[in-house]
Amino acid sequence: MERIKKAAEILAREGGYKQVKHMLLDVLAEEKNVIILHNLADLLKENEDYEEALYYAKQAVAMEPKTYYPYALLGELLMRLVNYESAQPWLEQAYTLFESPVVAHNLACIYKQQHKFNEAATYFIQSYKSEDYGLMRAVECFVLAGDTDSAYKWIDVIKRDQERFIGEVELGELYTSLGNYQEAAEWYAKGYQHYAHTAYWISNYLWVLHQLGHEKQVKDIRAIFLETLTTELMELPEDAEEYEMTSEEMKEEEQRLLADMERVRNAHLQVSISNDDELYIASRCFTFFCPMHDQSCGEQEIGE
């Protein structure tokens, strides 16, 4: 066990992936237990070797561990391998052992995919202990469930929490999803002053202004953004030389700029605003005996 603890310490202090992997495999060649199997799986996860990590994670869970770490890790790995149905029961088991906000987030994502929006919202709220966008995701789910009262209630909570404020543009998105375009426009206007201007959210802002009939603002903001992109397009050959871009990279950047210009030109034609609905899988260090992150789970597993 001392070698396992030493490996965890080296990983935390020095990040020596190859060295730690060799140390753990040497221990595994001599003995097989939950801790060594699980720590190998977590190490491989951090290196994005998800298939190999899954191989060890399944063996760890088969030994019926006492703590939530192995179940949470197995669920996360299955999600990363796009096997959400198989991930769900392991995450649920992990959550019964410990109400981890990371596990809550991943469960919420699965429930949202299943269109169980109220359940998803409940878990997103629980995830807010560590996941800054937990309440925003919860509001999105309440909107999808048609529960506008709860959506507005949690928006108010978001606005009050200044230390973890998600941002003006994000609030603009939430108000837009509720059909409250006037409030949305006001928050977008605040964000416009200091956010980096991207085609994604500028086109959403223009769409909201179009719904309100503020066509002069639409025209002015669009013109400023298109002028910026036109300048970037003209300076692209010089930038490509300075940053040693390949011809393929330069072509990709040119296509991105042209696509952004087209998107902003046609923002008013959108059916609604665009939403970044890409699945974000929450994670954390699950390594037993990690001196920085272990929640005494290592000691619980060996009965200390």
Per residue in 74-120, pLDDT tens? 999 999 999 999 999 999 999 999 999 999 999 999 999 999 999 99
The whole-angstrom distance between residue 180's C-alpha and the CA centroid of its chain comes to 26
**Within a 10 A sphere around the Cβ of 145, how many other Cβ atoms?**
17
Q: Which of 79, 24, 103 is nearest to 287 (CA)?
A: 24
Q: Which of 151, 148, 154, 190 is nearest to 172 (CA)?
A: 190
Tokens at 89, concatenated: 């029961």
CATH number at residue 170: 1.25.40
The yes-or-no verdict on residue 257 having pLDDT over 70 is: yes
pLDDT band at 265, cuts 50/70/90?
very high
Q: What is the pLDDT of residue 275?
A: 67
From 142, 161, 196, the end of a domain falls on 196
pLDDT, tens digit (0-9, with 9 covering 90-100), for 274-301: 666 678 999 999 999 988 888 788 888 8
Distance CA 128, CA 100 (A): 10
Asked whether residue 112 falls in the same domain as residue 4, the answer is yes
Residues 92 and 107 sit within 8 Å (Cβ to Cβ): yes
pLDDT, tens digit (0-9, with 9 covering 90-100), for 205-223: 999 999 999 999 999 999 9
From 196, 221, 247, the end of a domain falls on 196
Asked whether residue 96 falls in the same domain as residue 161, the answer is no
Asked whether residue 211 falls in the same domain as residue 181, the answer is no
- Can you give the residue range of the structural domain that contains 78? 1-131+282-304
Tokens at 18, concatenated: 């190859």
Q: What is the pLDDT of residue 276?
A: 64
Q: In sequence order, which ranges of 1-68 are alpha helices (DSSP H)?
A: 2-14, 17-30, 34-46, 50-62
Task: Give the number of domains in the chain.
Answer: 3
Asked whether residue 203 falls in the same domain as residue 223, the answer is yes
For tokens 């200044």, the residue is 162
* Angle formed at CA 225 by CA 223 and CA 231, multiple of 5 degrees: 100
Amino acid code (one letter) for 211? Q
Q: What is the pLDDT of residue 201?
A: 95
pLDDT band at 304, cuts 50/70/90?
very low
Question: How confident is the prediction for the chain on average, in pLDDT?
Answer: 93
Asked whether residue 141 falls in the same domain as residue 217, the answer is no
